Amino acid sequence: MNTLTSLQERYWLIDSDNTASRLFAMLRDQHATVMHPTSSRTLTFYDSFSWQLWFSDCVLYRDSDNLILRQLNEQQWQAVLEQVPLPAGPTPTFWWQLPESMAVLLQPHLKQRALLAQVKILRRDTRTDIKNTDNKTVARVIASEFRRANNNGKLFHSCISAKPIRGYDDAFRTVVKALDQLPLAPCPASPLHAYFESFAAWPKAFSAKPALTLYGAQAVRDVLFETVHASLQTARLCEDGIIKDIDIEFLHDYRVSIRAIRAVISLLAKWFPTDFIATLKDSFKEWGQRTNRLRDLDVYLLEENALTAVLPPRLTGAIAPLFEDMGKQRHAEFNKCRRYLQSQTYQHKMDHVASLVERIRSQNTPSSLSPASDVALKILHKQYRKVTKLGRSIHAKTTDHRIHALRIQGKKLRYVLEFFSSLLDPEKTETLLAAMRQLQNTLGEFNDLSVQQNALYTFYTTKTRHDALLGLAVGALIGDLYQRQNHCRGKIVKLFDRFDTPATRKNFIGLLRGDAR
Amino acid sequence: MKTLASYSIKGGVGKTACSVNLAYAAAEAGNRTLLVDLDPQGASSFYFRIRPSQNVKPKGFFTKQSKIENAIRGSDYPRLDVLPANLHFRKFDQLLGSLHKARNRLRDALARSADQYDIVVLDCPPTIGLLSENVFMAADMIVVPVIPTTLSERTFEQLLTFFRKSGYPAQRIVAFFSMVQSNNRLHQETMRRMQSQYKRFLNTVIPQSTDIERMGTHREPVLCYAPSRPGSLAYRHLCEELLRKL
């Protein structure tokens, strides 16, 4: 690769009539060339579990000692966005472990997600350099074969490419013209696309909240079954990542799925027999509870830099024991969680729950057969009233407990809108969700700040040996969190007023009047 | 972007060999590198088989970015580009004398390509004039090859004196011993004396070597055709030492 040229690399497919050796022979007749020995290497493509780079039209791969980030557009390799050298050995797992120039480009896509070696391709290149009369290379032509790293190294893609050298545009154009005159098909895809094409399998988008398409006439029991079934599958997909501790998002997504299941069960409870719902609810409750502490610790450790930044320089070192302690607790909590997920108890419980979920479909009470659209509107109505009633009673001196209650009811309202979104007017639903988002984020922040203060208080007061500087640092942090929480309280009142507008009401009334499809 | 200048008032001390191999090693280490051949003799361009840049005249060099952009040539090696010299470059001092802000012209011209390169290596002619002063202003590090002989020692002292008197930051000067003969007593004595006198000498020593002299025949960096020979290993260490200091 040369650093800059105005011309783009060109690719053509090689076929049995136009083999690489025939093409090279043709070039030899027209130019002075130097052919290099064939070289083989493995290209390892990295992406997160949820393929965030791929779905952002980027591809990250390791080619020998370089890590390369490329833009993809309509299945074609595009410009190299960044390339950094990597020392031999394992590739770093997180964006923050990479050189800064690469890290800043990956951060917005990956956030807390780990990089996984998703695809390995064996690449075999035969290169011919086109020389001028000074024996200087003025263009390059490379024949490449791509094979699967597994599956007996099956060949899935062969192409020839012409690469320009900066400042030698005429020579490149001459080579391209010669290759264009041959009956060669332009390369339709990047090697990675060709790889997926060869399997007829493409990366699938992953979301902790599966988007289901429901129908208005569908029985509510089917809605419950589909939602619980899909979310349970999603939770199961996360188990391996939690057990291997690949990144903290696996646990987060697992919990989001379980929470979504619990929310939908609770919202639809009155349409089903009480004892059946109680059994179903209890099963999922335990999984949420067992992972609470680990998730809390993940969040605290994630906040380490932000929390430390609040402290004056003379106290930043003093707070280290807090995070060391949390690190140790996290280690112990993770081991507990891992052992549980690998246990027979968990597997048996999962089997039992799966059979319970199957039983949803055999619920034949008249209410369980109610049409989904009726149920959606009733729940929406009830939940909207709860939120507005609670929200209108909030003021600058409202207790934490009531604000917490508003957060829970608001969250349920958001779940209802999300669950039934396919039955509702998409534009109105999105407007309502957008109106709720900022309020919900601030309510979430309020709750986090409260939980963090309690955690810091418990950490220090349960210590057997007290260190003065650590005490000062913890005190300073609690003070800062308290101030921020008070600021949030005032903000919540304003945000609720902004949410509870005639326009929002009109939108809800539009949905409640039966704009469900 | 960091700029390294291979510079000495004295000729024949190994400036071009240093520039060529340093640029090659920097690119090999993963840096997007530009070698700027400021010497009208065009020796470093010759080593990379790149023809003189006929369209770049001194005025265009300092005032029109497109002139430089169009003159840059890709080398045969990954991540390494070369801005070749031509005989017009002999008029740099004359032209710079007629321009405003005459000492910052090179720095400004290079800054326009800052987003394209991580490292710029300047191969400088053996003169001390306005062009050299531009180099002193533009370079983050001025790398001075010193043959451990009396005359080289004298020119090195002259350079330090010039920096002191003209107010240039002398801490940017780093030196290394070049073309050293291990069995030459004068070389060994001079090295010992200079190393104790000046703290700015690098640990790496470039030996006198026929491998390095053969660069003219091979027309490529010694690191390419004799990568494991002592001369090549020395240049690789030199590059590592310099990049660590940057």
Spell out which residues of chain B touch residue A83, defining contact as CB-CB under 8 Å: 30
Spell out which residues of chain B touch residue A84, defining contact as CB-CB under 8 Å: 30
Per-residue pLDDT at A512: 62
What is the identity of the amino acid at A23? L
Q: d(Cα A363, Cα A361) in Å, to the nearest integer?
A: 6
A325 touches chain B (CB under 8 A): no
Per-residue pLDDT at A2: 45
Per-residue pLDDT at A281: 87
Average pLDDT, integer, range A151-160: 85
CB-nearest to B49 from A3, A4, A134 is A134
Residue A439: pLDDT above 90? yes
The reply to whether residue B116 touches residue A4, judged by beta carbons under 8 angstroms, is yes
Contact A107, A137 (CB under 8 A): no
B78 touches chain A (CB under 8 A): yes
Average pLDDT, integer, range A420-442: 88
Provide the ipTM.
0.89
A146, β-bridge pairs: A123, A157
Q: Which of B186, B128, B178 is nearest to B18 (CA)?
A: B178
**Close Cβ partners of A229 (under 8 Å, ≥ 6 residues apart):** A357
Average pLDDT, integer, range B196-203: 91
- pLDDT tens column, B95-109: 888 878 888 888 888
Cα dihedral sign for A412, A415, A419, A423? positive
The distance of Cα A25 from the centroid of its chain, to the nearest Å, equals: 49
Q: Considering the domain A10-199, what is its CATH architecture?
A: Beta Barrel (2.40)
Q: Mean pLDDT for chain A?
A: 89
Q: Which fold has domain A371-517?
A: CHAD domain (1.40.20)
Give the gap in angstroms from C-alpha A84 to the nearest C-alpha of chain B. Answer: 7
Average pLDDT, integer, range B51-78: 84
Token pair for A158 = 């062969």
Per-residue pLDDT at A165: 95
Residue with tokens 């929406």: A380
Average pLDDT, integer, range A171-189: 86
- pLDDT tier for residue A1 given thresholds of 50, 70 and 90: very low
**Close Cβ partners of A15 (under 8 Å, ≥ 6 residues apart):** A158, A184, A185
CATH of B2-245, one of 3.40.50.720, 1.20.120.530, 3.40.190.10, 3.40.50.300: 3.40.50.300
Q: d(Cα A431, Cα A426) in Å, to the nearest integer?
A: 9
B224 touches chain A (CB under 8 A): no
**Best interface-test mutation with B: which of A2, A129, A138 has the largest number of B CBs within 10 A?**
A2
**Best interface-test mutation with B: which of A1, A64, A136 has the largest number of B CBs within 10 A?**
A136
Give the gap in angstroms from C-alpha B125 to the nearest C-alpha of chain A. Answer: 24
- pLDDT tens column, A36-80: 999 999 999 999 999 999 999 999 999 988 899 998 877 667 778
Cα dihedral sign for B198, B200, B206, B212? negative
CB-nearest to A137 from B70, B76, B81 is B76
How much of chain A, in percent, has pLDDT values that exceed 70?
A: 96
Give the gap in angstroms from C-alpha A164 to the nearest C-alpha of chain B. Answer: 9
Give the gap in angstroms from C-alpha A26 to the nearest C-alpha of chain B. Answer: 22
Token pair for A104 = 């800043």
The reply to whether residue A134 touches residue B51, judged by beta carbons under 8 angstroms, is yes
A7-11, A65-69, A311-315, B117-121: which has the minimum mean pLDDT? A7-11
What backbone phi and psi angles, to 5 degrees, belong to B185?
A: -65, -40
Residue A516: pLDDT above 70? no
Average pLDDT, integer, range A254-258: 94
A165 touches chain B (CB under 8 A): yes
Count CB atoms within 10 A of the CB of residue B186: 11
The reply to whether residue B81 touches residue A65, judged by beta carbons under 8 angstroms, is no
Contact B43, B16 (CB under 8 A): yes
Per-residue pLDDT at B189: 93
Predicted TM-score (pTM) of the model is: 0.76
Average pLDDT, integer, range B225-244: 95
Residue B65: pLDDT above 80? no
The domain ranges of chain B are 2-245
Q: What is the DSSP letter of B13?
A: S
B50 touches chain A (CB under 8 A): yes
Q: d(Cα B207, Cα B212) in Å, to the nearest integer?
A: 9
The reply to whether residue A136 touches residue B48, judged by beta carbons under 8 angstroms, is yes
- pLDDT tier for residue A189 given thresholds of 50, 70 and 90: low
Q: d(Cα B79, Cα A285) in Å, to the nearest integer?
A: 57
Average pLDDT, integer, range A156-166: 92
A128 touches chain B (CB under 8 A): no
- pLDDT tier for residue B61 given thresholds of 50, 70 and 90: confident
Per-residue pLDDT at A43: 93
The reply to whether residue A66 touches residue B30, judged by beta carbons under 8 angstroms, is yes
Q: Which of A266-275, A475-484, A501-510 has the highest mean pLDDT?
A: A475-484
Per-residue pLDDT at A517: 45
Q: What ranges in B58-205 are assigned the alpha helix state H? A: 58-63, 65-71, 92-96, 105-111, 130-138, 150-166, 185-197
A87 touches chain B (CB under 8 A): no
B84 to chain A: closest CA residue: A167
- DSSP letters spanning A104-151: HHHHHHHTTPPPEEEEEEEEEEEEEEEE-TTS-EEEEEEEEEEEESSG
Q: Which of A103, A102, A99 is nearest to A82 (CA)?
A: A102
Contact B148, B194 (CB under 8 A): yes
Spell out which residues of chain A touch residue B75, defining contact as CB-CB under 8 Å: 2
B130 touches chain A (CB under 8 A): no
- DSSP letters spanning A286-340: HHHHHHHHHHHHHHHHHTHHHHHHHS-HHHHTTTHHHHHHHHHHHHHHHHHHHHH
What backbone phi and psi angles, to 5 degrees, belong to B56?
A: -100, 110
The reply to whether residue A165 touches residue B73, judged by beta carbons under 8 angstroms, is yes
CB-nearest to B74 from A65, A85, A167 is A167
Q: Mean pLDDT for chain B?
A: 91
Spell out which residues of chain A touch residue B51, defining contact as CB-CB under 8 Å: 134
Spell out which residues of chain B touch residue A137, defining contact as CB-CB under 8 Å: 76
What is the identity of the amino acid at B214? R
- The angle at the Cα of A366, spanning A364 to A372, to the nearest 5 degrees, equals 95
Q: Can you say whether residue B30 is alpha, beta or left, with left for phi > 0 and alpha for psi between -120 and 50 degrees?
A: left
The domain ranges of chain A are 10-199, 208-369, 371-517
Q: Do domains A208-369 and A371-517 have the same CATH topology?
A: yes
B116 to chain A: closest CA residue: A3
CATH assignment, A208-369: 1.40.20.10
